[in-house]
Structure 1
Amino acid sequence: MKTLTILGSTGSIGRQTLDVVSHAEGRLKIHALVAEKSVQLMEEQARLYRPEVVVMMEETAARELRGRLRDLPIRVDQGMEGIINSVIAQQVDTVVTALSGRVGLEPTLAAIDAGKTIALANKETLVAGGDLVMSSARKVNCKILPVDSEHSAIFQCLEESSETIEKIILTASGGPFFGWNKEKLATVTLEKALCHPNWDMGAKITIDSSTMMNKGLEVIEAHYLFNMEYDGIEVLIHPQSVIHSMVEYHDGSVLAQLGRPDMRLPIQYALSYPTRWKNPFERLNLRGKTLTFHEPDLDAFPALALAYHVGRRGGTLPAVMNAANEIAVSAFLHEQVSYLGIQEIVEKVCSEHHVLDNMDLGSILDADTWARRRAEELISIFQDHKFDI
C-alpha cells in the first residue's frame, strides 16, 4: 500500500486522483488532502476518504473547516507550514503535486528533501525552479514521476537512456481556437476560451491550453524531466488527442503512447509505477479514427515561441514568465483584460526583467514576486489596450 498526500485535492487533477484512489482496490491510502479555500468540497472529500490531516491555505477556510469536521478525528492545518508538514510526514510515500501555479514549488522541494516520490502534476514547479528542483532530486535520488499526459507518454516510451533519443515530440490538441488567425482571436470571449474540445480541466490550464502557453510550459518541463535540449523538443498539433506524445530514437524508430483523453490514466500510472493496475475506465477505440498532425502557428499563438526563448535563456526568466502569465490569465478570467492582452502582458514583463543566473529559492521567489507586481501594474494601467512592445 502507498500512502499519499495530495496537494490540490479539490482541483481537477486532485479530484481525478481521488477517483483513481477509489478504484485502486485498497492499494492507495490518503494521509493528507490540501486545498486553497474550497471548504465544502474539502469537507466532502474528508468525510469520504478519511485522511489524517487536511490543510487549507487560507486561514478563514481552515477555521470554517475545523467547525465542519469537529465530529471527526481529522486534524485541520493551515498555510504553507501546514502544507509542508503534510508532505514530509514519515508515513507518506508519494506526494501528488496538483496545486495550480508557482505555489507548488516550496512543498515540492520539501517533499524531495524528505525523500518522497513526487507525482508531478504542477508543471509550474519545474518552469519556475527546474534547475533547483532537479538538482535537489538528484542529490537524494528522488523519483519524479510525470502526471501530465504528454510527459507521462514520453516517460512510458523511454526504452533506453536519453543518449539514444533523437528528439521528443510533444503533441498539442490545438485547443478551441485551432486554425484561427490573430484577427479572429481578437474576438475571443471568456466563455469561448473555457470550452476545450477534448479535455476536462481547471479554468487556468484551459486558458493556457487555448493560448498554447500550456504547451510552452510543457516544453520547459520536458527539458528538465528528460534532460533534453530545446532543439530536440518538437511540438505538433494533434486535434484528436489520441497520441499523447512520441519519442524518436537515433535509428529513426518512433514510439508513441496512445489513450483516451482521460487524465486518470497518467495519474494512475504515476501512482502504480513500475506496475500497471487494471481499472474500469473506458478504453480507446480506434475504429474509424483519423489522426492528423499540423505545425503550430507561432504568429497566431506566440506564447509557444516565447516559452522556447525563455527556456533557452534560463535563469530567473522562466519564473518571471510563469508568474506574469498566472496574473494575466487571472485578469482575463475576471474579465479585466482581453484575450490577446494575456500575451502582451507576459511579453512586456519578460522584456523588462533583469535576468539572474545561479538562482536559489530566494531569488526565484523574488523574481516571481516582482513579475506578479509588474503584471498587476500593467493590467491596472492598460486594461484591454495593446502595449507598444
Structure 2
Amino acid sequence: MAKKKIILLGATGSVGVQALDVIAAHPDLFELVGFSFGKNIEKARDIIQTFSPNLVVAAHENLKTQLLDEFPSIACYSGQTGLTQLAQTQDYDVLLNAIVGAIGVLPTLEAIKLGRDIALANKETLVVAGDTIMSEAARTGSKILPVDSEHAAIFQVLQGVLPSDVRSLTITASGGSFRDKTRDELVDVTLADALTHPNWSMGAKITIDSATMVNKGLEVIEAHHLFGMSYEDIHVVLHRESVVHSMITLNDGAVLAQLGPSDMREPIQYALSYPKHITLHHEKPFDLTQIGCLHFEKMDLVRFPMLDLAYRVGKLGGGYPAVYNAANEVANLAFQEDKITFLQIEQLVTRAVFEHIEFVGQSLQQILKSDGVTREKVNQWIVELAEEKGS
C-alpha cells in the first residue's frame, strides 16, 4: 500500500487524537502533512513536534501568531478561511474531517473539488449539504469513507453487496446517558449527568447529543446521503452494549452486521487504509463468550422526540436539516454553559424547525444562510429565556 498523506481537521478532539494514534502506529503507511485545532495549543505544539506537518490551522488568530513565533518554518492559518486554505492544498491524499459542527462543510467540499478522498467523522457535513457533497464527489471521483462507527459498520458489510440487494439499514444506538430515565426525570438533570456516557468516551458536544438522541438523528440523515436509502428503510434500534455497530438487511431476509469493541480507532484506520484491513496496534480484546448477552429494544420516539424530528426534517430536505443542526449546536453549547436546561435543548430545536421559512430551490448558499439565521434566532431566544428566569 502506497504511503498516504493525511490532512486532519479537529486534531485535538476525541476522534482526532485517536486518528493521530493510528497515524503514529503506521509511519510507513500514513504521513500527517497538515491539521487544524481549536483552542488546545499545548496539544497542537505536541502534534507539530511529533509529526512535523507543513500546515496548521488554529481556530483563532492569536493562537496562530503564537505558533508562528514558535515554529517559523510551518505555514499557519486561522479560522474558517484557514480551514478552506488547508483543504485547498494540493499535496495530500485524504482529508480526515474530525471537526465538530457545520464549520466542517466548506473545507470538505473544497477537498472533494480536488478529487481527494474524505474520511468523514463530521456528520454535519452531510446533514447540512448532503446533496451537494455527494453529487460533487460523484463528479470528481472523491470517495466518502465514513468514520462514525455506525456508518463505518454499514460501509464494511456493504463491500461486495449489490446496492439493489439491500432492503434496509439498521443503525444501533446506545441510548446515551439518560436511556433509563423517564421524561419527567429529565427535568433536573445536570451537565455532569449528561456527560456520563455508559459506553463511550467522547467530547462534550457529541455526548450531550447522544443523550438528546440528536446524534442518532444526524446519523440517520447522514446514512440517507451516504448510502442512498430512503428514510423509510433506515431504522434505529436501542442496543445497550454497543457491540453490534450497525447492520443491513438484504432482500432475501439475510442480516449482515459488523461487531467489535468500542474502539474508534478501527473505523478511523479502515477509512485511511481502505480498501485494506491492516493490523490495529494495541487492539482491544473482544470475546463474545465474555459478553454473554446482547440486547435490542425498539426506539421510543415519544421518549426521544429529537430522533423523530430528525426523520421529519430529513424527509422535508432543503434547509430543514441544516436548521435542525444549527439550532442544536447553539442549544447544546448553551446547556454546557448553564444558560438553559437539558429539556430546553429540545424546545429550542423544535421551535427553530417549525418557524423555518424555506427558500425556493435551496442552493447551498441559501442553506448556509438559513444556518446563520437560525443561530442568530436561537441565541436571541436563549437571552430571552435568561431574562424570564431572572425576572
* TM-score scaled by length of structure 2: 0.96
Query: Would you say 1:200 and 2:213 are equivalent positions?
Result: no
Letter aligned with residue 363 of structure 2: D
Whole-angstrom distance in 2 between the partners of 1:177 and 1:319: 26
* Range moving further from structure 2, 354-363 or 164-173: 354-363
Give the percent of matched residue pairs that are identical in Structure 1 and Structure 2: 43
* Kept after mapping to 2: 8 A contact 1:240/1:291: yes
Whole-angstrom distance in 2 between the partners of 1:48 and 1:363: 41
Whole-angstrom distance in 2 between the partners of 1:170 and 1:384: 40
Deviations, residues 14-66 of structure 1 (Å, cap 9, x unaligned): 11100000111420001101112221111111111110111112111111222
Letter aligned with residue 287 of structure 1: T
* TM-score scaled by length of structure 1: 0.96
Instruction: Name 2:14's counterpart in structure 1.
Output: 12
* Kept after mapping to 1: 8 A contact 2:328/2:345: yes
How far the C-alpha of 1:384 sits from its partner, in A, is 9.9
How far the C-alpha of 1:164 sits from its partner, in A, is 1.0
Letter aligned with residue 13 of structure 1: V
How far the C-alpha of 1:90 sits from its partner, in A, is 1.9
Instruction: Name 2:85's counterpart in structure 1.
Output: 85
Instruction: Name 2:182's counterpart in structure 1.
Output: 181
Instruction: Name 1:67's counterpart in structure 2.
Output: 69
> What is the aligned counterpart of 2:60 among 43, 51, 58?
58
**Residue 245 of structure 2: SS of its match in structure 1?**
strand
- What residue ranges of structure 1 are gaps of 5+ in the alignment? none
Letter aligned with residue 135 of structure 2: S
Structure 1: 4+ residue segments shifted above 6 A: none
**Residue 22 of structure 2: SS of its match in structure 1?**
helix
**Residue 246 of structure 2: SS of its match in structure 1?**
strand
Whole-angstrom distance in 1 between the partners of 2:262 and 2:105: 27
Whole-angstrom distance in 2 between the partners of 1:385 and 1:4: 49
Whole-angstrom distance in 2 between the partners of 1:358 and 1:19: 43
Query: Would you say 1:109 and 2:109 are equivalent positions?
Result: yes
* Range moving further from structure 2, 156-165 or 77-86: 77-86
Instruction: Name 1:382's counterpart in structure 2.
Output: 385
Whole-angstrom distance in 2 between the partners of 1:384 and 1:264: 45
Whole-angstrom distance in 1 between the partners of 2:388 and 2:330: 16
Whole-angstrom distance in 1 between the partners of 2:18 and 2:247: 24
Deviations, residues 192-216 of structure 1 (Å, cap 9, x unaligned): 1001111111110000001110000
* Range moving further from structure 2, 249-258 or 132-141: 132-141
Q: How does 1:239-388 map to 2 (within 5 A)?
A: 239-280=240-281, 281-289=283-291, 290-383=293-386
**Residue 176 of structure 1: SS of its match in structure 2?**
coil
Letter aligned with residue 364 of structure 1: I
- What residue ranges of structure 2 are gaps of 5+ in the alignment? none
Q: How does 1:163-174 map to 2 (within 5 A)?
A: 163-174=164-175
**Residue 4 of structure 1: SS of its match in structure 2?**
strand
Query: Would you say 1:132 and 2:135 are equivalent positions?
Result: no
How far the C-alpha of 1:357 sits from its partner, in A, is 4.8
Instruction: Name 1:119's counterpart in structure 2.
Output: 119
**Residue 216 of structure 1: SS of its match in structure 2?**
helix
Instruction: Name 1:149's counterpart in structure 2.
Output: 149
How far the C-alpha of 1:85 sits from its partner, in A, is 2.4
Instruction: Name 1:225's counterpart in structure 2.
Output: 226
